[in-house]
Amino acid sequence: MDFESLSADLRSLQARALKEIAEVSDPASLEALQIQYLGKKGDLTAVLRGIGALPAEDRPRVGAVANEVGEAVKGALAVRGAELHAQVQALRLASEKVDVTLPGRPVGRGTLHPIPETIAAITEVFGQFGFVVYEGPEVEDDLTNFQMLNMPPDHPARDLWDTLYVDIPGHLLRTHTSPGQMRVMQTTRPPIRALLPGRCFRYEAVDASHGFEFFQVEGLMVDEGTSMADLKGLLDEFAHALFGPRKTRFRPGYYPFTEPSVAFDVECVVCGGVGCPACSKSGWMTILGAGMVHPVVLQYGGIDPERYQGFAFGMGVERIANLRHAVPDLRYYLENDLRFLDQFR
Ligand code: PHE
C-alpha cells in the first residue's frame, strides 16, 4: 500500500459518492448514503484503515486527501439534502393549497323531531289558556293507571288498553297519560290547569297507525263550575289554532274515568268535510277523547266532587303530527331515518 494507490482509492470513492448522491431522489435514501460513506463503519473509514501501513511521512498527505474527500461528500450531501427538502416542501404546499376565495360550505342546522315539535305546538296553545306542563312516570302502578281511574281489577274496560307489565309486582308501563291526572290532583289543589305530555306503551301489533310505544298529551282542568261547555270552547280554540277554522263536534264516547265521555271530531283536514279516503268518506276526523272527570276519580285525587268539577282530554301526538304534516305511517317517527327527518327543516 502506498500513497498513490490509497489516494486513488479515495478519489474514486469520492467520484462514486458524488454520483450516487446526485442520483438519489428521497431523503431516506440520502441518509442511507451518508451512513454508507461517512458512518463509523462507512467506506471512507474503511479506506483510512490503510493509513497505518504507510510510511510516516506519507500519512499527513493521505490525511489531507481524506479530509478533502470527506468535505466534498459532506458538501454534496448537504446540497442534495436541501434540494430534496425543497422538493418535499413544494409537494406538500401544493397538496395543502387552500383557495381562500372559494365560498364557504354551509353548516347543516339541526331541527326538532316532529313529535317534540308537535308537543311544543300543543302545549303552546294550551299554555295561552293557563295550562302548565307536568310529567308523570313511564313505569306506573296498577293503582294509578287503572284502579284510581275507576277501573278496579277485572273491570272489562281494561281491555281497551292492552298492557305491558314489568317485573315489579303491581307495576306496568303506563298505557295512557291519564294516570298523570291522578298525580296532579294528589299533589296540587284547584284551580288546576295541567298538561301532561309523555310516552305511553301498549301491547299492540305494530302497523301504519299503531305502535307499541307512542306519545299522548293529557289535559286536566279542575275548578268550581267547570262545565262541558268550557271543554268544548277550549278544544275548539285548540283545533282552530292547529288546523285552521274548521267545524268541530262532540260524539258520545266511553271512558271509565269521565262521565259523560266524548270523542272530539274536526272536519277532515284533507277534504274539508266533503268525504275522502283519509276520513273514511265521513268528512270528520277524531282527534282526541275527553269528558267530565268522574266524581269517583276526583275523590281518589282528594278533591270534593260536591264543590269541584273537572274535565279531561287525551290525544295521540302521532295522530296530530300525521295530520299536520301529512305523514302516512307512524313508524317513521321512531326510525329516525334522516331522509324523513330532513323534511321538517
Ligand atoms: N286516556 C284515554 C286514552 O288513552 C284518553 C282520554 C283522556 C279520554 C282523558 C278522556 C279523558 O284513550
Asked if 146 and 30 sit in the same domain, the reply is: no
- When divided into structural domains, the chain yields a total of 2
- Residues 317-332, mean pLDDT to the nearest whole number: 92
Q: Which of 178, 232, 264 maximizes ligand 1 atoms within 8 Å of its Cβ, making it the mutation to test the pocket?
A: 178
Mean residue pLDDT of the chain comes to: 93
Q: Which residue has the higher pLDDT, 108 or 202?
A: 202
pTM of the model: 0.72
The cell numbers describing 80, all together, are 442534495
Q: Which of 49, 64, 95 is the last residue of a domain?
A: 95
Q: Which has the closest alpha carbon to 128: 25, 234, 221?
A: 234
- Enclosing H/E stretch for 71: helix 59-95
Please determine, for residue 10, whether its predicted confidence score (pLDDT) is greater than 80: yes
Residues of the chain above pLDDT 90, percent: 67
- Residues 130-136, mean pLDDT to the nearest whole number: 97
- Residues 307-315, mean pLDDT to the nearest whole number: 98
Please tell me the distance from the alpha carbon of residue 335 to that of residue 342, in angstroms, as a whole number: 13
Compute the chain's Rg from CA coordinates: 43
pLDDT of 60: 86
- Domain, as residue range, for 60: 3-95
> Ligand 1: does its nearest atom lie under 6 Å from the Cβ of 289?
yes
Asked if 76 and 148 sit in the same domain, the reply is: no
Q: Which residue has the higher pLDDT, 58 or 222?
A: 222
Mark residue 63 as left, alpha or beta (left: phi above 0; alpha: psi -120 to 50; beta: remaining).
Answer: alpha
The cell numbers describing 275, all together, are 268525504
Q: pLDDT per residue over 143-165, tens digit each?
A: 999 999 999 999 988 888 899 99
Asked if 61 and 145 sit in the same domain, the reply is: no
Asked if 88 and 227 sit in the same domain, the reply is: no
Cβ–Cβ under 8 Å, residues 341 and 109: no
pLDDT of 261: 98
**Centroid of ligand 1 to alpha carbon of 261 (angstroms):** 9
Q: Which of 251, 255, 288 maximizes ligand 1 atoms within 8 Å of its Cβ, making it the mutation to test the pocket?
A: 255
Is residue 26, in this structure, part of any structural domain at all? yes
Please tell me the distance from the alpha carbon of residue 135 to that of residue 290, in angstroms, as a whole number: 19
